[in-house]
């Protein structure tokens, strides 16, 4: 089968329960306890627990022993993109051979929590809960390029929110796969229109070379919530860097069931 293999697990805020707290490491526990908003605390717990359960199964480790690290590239604080941690004595800081090809991405919005895992590429996952009415005008001015804004406002008003959310999820997924997040203004990244296969049309000028995003895919969670996934693969023979559609072999799993099976 063609395509880069990626597995995605979807869970819910309601899956958060006290028994999962035993999976948190000391850094995660501090962040969990410091989160005042109950919903935010629950999403963080579900994301951490699901990541550890999924990666533990994949790597043959107990979930609580999965070595995760969060380091902000700007300030060094424990809130950067979460990654598998390298071993203390790894040569050059490289991760162990069994882990070096595994990357993952965590996303949450409203009651939704997702974890994507792949081998051989950096993965980015984003979901946006579509319930309720949002201030599309304000969000679009920050997130969309001039061409994307023009296309959005050419639509009937009723179509603008779902069109914006589809575009936003694609941008977030790409920026997460590149490991830059919102450190790069999303309006500098231009993607294809919502009805078109997902691809990158224009990269931010600040990138000295074209980034290695080679695969993108759209998803819909629970039949209504837009989500997107991007995979960045370096090396020869790995695509054009445009971010092409059709390059992902996607398998979805029930993350709620995986969490329910953890009974400690």
Q: Where do we find the tokens 């998803």? A: 219
Of 120, 86, 122, 129, give the one whose Cα is nearest residue 105: 122
- Average pLDDT for residues 85-104, to the nearest whole number? 58
- Burial environment of residue 89 by CB neighbours within 10 A (0 to 12, 13 to 18, 19 or more): exposed
Cα first-last separation, the chain: 38
Q: What pLDDT band is residue 236 in, cutting at 50, 70 and 90?
A: very low
Global model pTM greater than 0.85: yes
- Burial environment of residue 77 by CB neighbours within 10 A (0 to 12, 13 to 18, 19 or more): exposed
Q: What pLDDT band is residue 34 in, cutting at 50, 70 and 90?
A: very high
Whether the Cβ atoms of residue 163 and residue 194 lie closer than 8 Å to each other: yes
Whether the Cβ atoms of residue 195 and residue 218 lie closer than 8 Å to each other: no
Q: What is the pLDDT of residues 45-72, one digit of tens each?
A: 999 999 999 999 999 999 999 998 877 6
Q: Would you tell me the crossing angle of helices 136-143 and 146-153 to the nearest 10 degrees?
A: 150
Q: Where do we find the tokens 């000295």? A: 208
Q: What is the pLDDT of residues 218-228, one digit of tens each?
A: 999 999 999 99
CA–CA distances in Å: residue 185 to residues 65, 141, 199: 36, 11, 18
Cα 122 from Cα 212, distance rounded (Å): 10
Of 8, 248, 210, 260, give the one whose Cα is nearest residue 127: 8
Q: What is the pLDDT of residues 120-154, one digit of tens each?
A: 889 999 999 998 889 999 999 999 999 999 999 99
Bigger pLDDT: 85 or 157?
157
Q: What is the pLDDT of residues 199-224, one digit of tens each?
A: 999 998 888 777 777 789 999 999 99
Cα 226 from Cα 218, distance rounded (Å): 8
Of 39, 38, 2, 46, give the one whose Cα is nearest residue 20: 46
């Amino acid at each position: 089968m063609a395509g880069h293999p990626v597995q995605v697990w979807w869970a819910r805020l309601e899956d958060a329960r006290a028994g999962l707290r035993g999976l948190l490491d000391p850094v995660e526990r501090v962040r969990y306890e410091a989160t005042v908003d109950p919903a935010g605390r629950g999403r963080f717990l579900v994301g951490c627990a699901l990541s550890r359960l999924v990666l533990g199964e994949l790597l043959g480790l107990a979930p609580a022993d999965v070595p995760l690290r969060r380091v902000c590239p700007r300030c060094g604080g424990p809130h950067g993109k979460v990654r598998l941690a390298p071993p203390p004595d790894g040569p050059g800081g490289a991760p162990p051979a069994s882990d070096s090809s595994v990357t993952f991405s965590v996303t949450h919005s409203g009651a939704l929590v997702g974890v994507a895992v792949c081998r051989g590429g950096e993965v980015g996952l984003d979901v946006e809960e579509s319930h309720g009415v949002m201030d599309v005008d304000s969000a679009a001015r920050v997130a969309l390029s001039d061409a994307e804004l023009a296309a959005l406002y050419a639509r009937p008003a009723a179509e603008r929110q779902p069109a914006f959310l589809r575009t936003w999820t694609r941008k977030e997924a790409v920026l997460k796969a590149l490991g830059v997040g919102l450190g790069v203004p999303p309006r500098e990244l231009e993607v294809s229109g919502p009805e078109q296969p997902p691809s990158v049309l224009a990269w931010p000028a600040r990138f000295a070379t074209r980034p290695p995003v080679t695969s993108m895919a759209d998803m819909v969670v629970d039949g209504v919530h837009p989500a997107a996934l991007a995979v960045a693969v370096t090396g020869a023979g790995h695509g054009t860097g445009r971010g092409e559609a059709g390059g992902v072999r996607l398998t979805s799993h029930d993350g709620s069931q995986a969490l329910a099976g953890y009974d400690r």
